Structure 1
């Protein structure tokens, strides 16, 4: 693993350099104002349009949500939400103790030394 760390670091740096500009463009691009559904012989086709009804082109993958695509790769792992074994809970004994504070002597205070 130690030998692979520099290669992984270089690969991640190159990925950031190569995709950073397009991610910034996708974040700042105005979103579509609506969509038009065209019924074609191959099935329905949704076209994203701007305010004037002109097609905006293909939709960009949201850079903030693109990281969730890695979940498809991770799904091959074990299901961590499913219990693997049942453990019987043991009762815990405790004793509730109340302490009543003792009343101290009342101390009156006089006026301040300088008024």
Structure 2
């Protein structure tokens, strides 16, 4: 998935459902992050290099030092929410994605904070 004007995808969403048995054999929806251990990726420019001083792959230093939280992403309107936000229950399941990371990472992915819960 590309966010904003980034030149590199932040990851790939894969979904499968077996039609023969109505999803009994295969049924999943995952998001695989575009990260590599020990490598820093600048998704905006496409540049990558060996990470400095233990920096987590795919993260900026300032974001790597921040506290991680669980957020609920609305992939349709590009808003992010706290898990207990009242807006989450109104969200369609197909547009709902759970993300664990820093607030800065979510914003870098192109999401805006919800105006109700203000995560």
What is the TM-score of this pair, normalised by structure 2? 0.18
- Return the structure number with greater helix share: 1
What is the TM-score of this pair, normalised by structure 1? 0.18
Q: Which has the larger radius of gyration?
A: 1
* Greater RCO structure (CA 8 Å; 6+ sep): 2
